[in-house]
């Protein structure tokens, strides 16, 4: 096959993007992976006055990580389990609440445009602003939630002082921030489904549930899978909400892998081990993405 002679123009336009990605993505990624095979810390990392003196230690960091995972009392294992719980619960509520609200907004109701605008506010507000607003509402004495509980004659809740309620608190914040994205995505998918399919189903006597099960869900699946995949990746790496609301506390009860890696890097200054955590996070996401794509492909082959 002969290509047009002016294909070089495409490479000219792609070059700036490739250069930016190489500088901002690929180079830091390669450096981070290489640091995971070293004993880099605050004492041997070097500076503009002192040359670096860290050494290549091979798989030592990975072996240490594995030993800490199988230890009887392993903080790393607890953090990994909390990361999986955090990701599953958040994405579950993102999808279910987002789908429910998208179905409501897809109907012809009065003031639909106003409702859509209001539901986009959590997404439009910067995440750190939303985190600080929720942090104020979680205040033990003067927070909105505990004041309302007192007004109703109920006991107050130690939102950020108890391990269970601290995890509930950060999940509530992240669900509030993440639902609008799911609404917008699923609403776009709903609007792409032809109305003629529903009209034909109603003529055949299909109930609302049957229409939802046999028309809406199958045709919405490609959009839902993409949105869910992105949601899992973003939630798995959601650093700012946990760091700003609970900072991983109390006693690591809301710590996830990405905040734990940050703590190891910039509080304990064990940069080699922190890079190892980064490689583990990347490996989890790559494995999940590959499995998810294979499942999606198999489902599409069955449907067709």
pLDDT string in tens for the chain (304-residue length): 555 666 778 888 889 999 999 999 899 999 999 999 999 998 898 888 888 899 999 999 999 989 988 888 888 899 999 999 999 999 999 999 999 999 988 888 787 778 878 888 888 888 889 999 999 999 988 899 999 999 999 999 999 999 999 999 999 999 999 999 999 999 999 999 998 999 999 998 989 899 999 999 989 988 888 888 889 989 998 999 999 999 888 888 999 999 999 999 988 899 999 999 999 999 988 888 888 777 677 656 555 5
Is 279 part of a structural domain of the chain?
yes
- pLDDT value of residue 107: 83
Q: Where are the alpha helices (DSSP H) in 45-162?
A: 60-70, 75-106, 112-119, 121-124, 127-137, 144-151
With beta carbons less than 8 A apart as the criterion, state whether 122 and 179 touch: yes
Q: pLDDT value at position 72?
A: 83
The enclosing domain of 151 has a CATH number of 1.10.3720.10
Distance of alpha carbon 260 from alpha carbon 278, whole angstroms = 10
Q: Residue 165 falls within a domain, yes or no?
A: yes
Domain residues for 187? 81-303
Neighbours of 117 (CB within 10 A): 11
What is the structure's pLDDT at 3? 54
Place of tokens 């439009």: 124
pLDDT at 225: 85
Specify whether the CB–CB gap between 178 and 231 falls below 8 A. yes
* Domain membership flag for residue 6: no
Q: Is 20 part of any domain?
A: no
Is residue 48 domain-resident?
no
Residues 6+ apart with CB under 8 A from 278: 32, 36, 261
User: 72-108: buried (b, 16+ CB within 10 Å) or exposed (e) per residue?
Assistant: eeeebeebbebbeebbebbbebbbebbbebbeebbee
Provide the number of structural domains found in the chain.
1
Rounded Cα distance, 285 and 246, in Å: 24
Is 213 inside any structural domain?
yes
On whether residue 45 sits in a domain, the answer given is no
Give the dihedral sign, CA 139/244/93/158. negative
Q: What values do phi and psi take at 56, rounded to 5?
A: -75, 125
Whether 57 is in a domain gets the answer no
């Amino acid at each position: 096959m002969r290509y047009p002679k002016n294909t070089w123009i495409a490479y000219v336009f792609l070059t700036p993007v490739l250069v930016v990605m190489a500088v901002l993505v690929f180079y830091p990624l390669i450096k981070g992976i290489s640091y995971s095979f070293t004993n880099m810390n605050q004492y041997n990392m070097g500076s503009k006055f002192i040359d670096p003196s860290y050494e290549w230690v091979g798989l030592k960091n990975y072996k240490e990580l594995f030993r800490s995972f199988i230890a009887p009392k392993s903080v790393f294992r607890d953090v990994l389990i909390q990361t999986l719980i955090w990701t599953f619960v958040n994405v579950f509520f993102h999808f279910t609440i987002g789908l429910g609200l998208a179905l409501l907004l897809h109907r012809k109701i009065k003031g639909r445009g106003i409702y859509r605008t209001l539901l986009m506010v959590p997404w439009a507000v910067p995440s750190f602003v939303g985190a600080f607003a929720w942090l104020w509402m979680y205040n033990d004495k003067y927070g909105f939630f505990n004041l309302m509980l007192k007004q109703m004659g109920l006991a107050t809740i130690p939102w950020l002082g108890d391990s269970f309620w601290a995890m509930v608190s950060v999940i509530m914040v992240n669900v509030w921030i993440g639902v609008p994205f799911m609404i917008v995505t699923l609403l776009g998918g709903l609007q792409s489904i032809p109305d003629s399919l529903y009209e034909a189903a109603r003529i055949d006597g299909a109930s609302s549930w049957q229409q939802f099960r046999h028309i809406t869900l199958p045709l919405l699946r490609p959009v839902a899978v993409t949105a869910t995949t992105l949601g899992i990746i973003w939630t798995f790496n959601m650093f700012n909400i946990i760091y700003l609301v609970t900072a991983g506390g109390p006693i690591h009860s809301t710590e996830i892998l990405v905040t734990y890696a940050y703590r190891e890097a910039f509080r304990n200054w064990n940069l080699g081990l922190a890079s190892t955590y980064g490689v583990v996070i990347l490996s989890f996401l790559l494995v999940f993405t590959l499995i998810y794509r294979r499942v999606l492909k198999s489902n599409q082959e069955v449907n067709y």
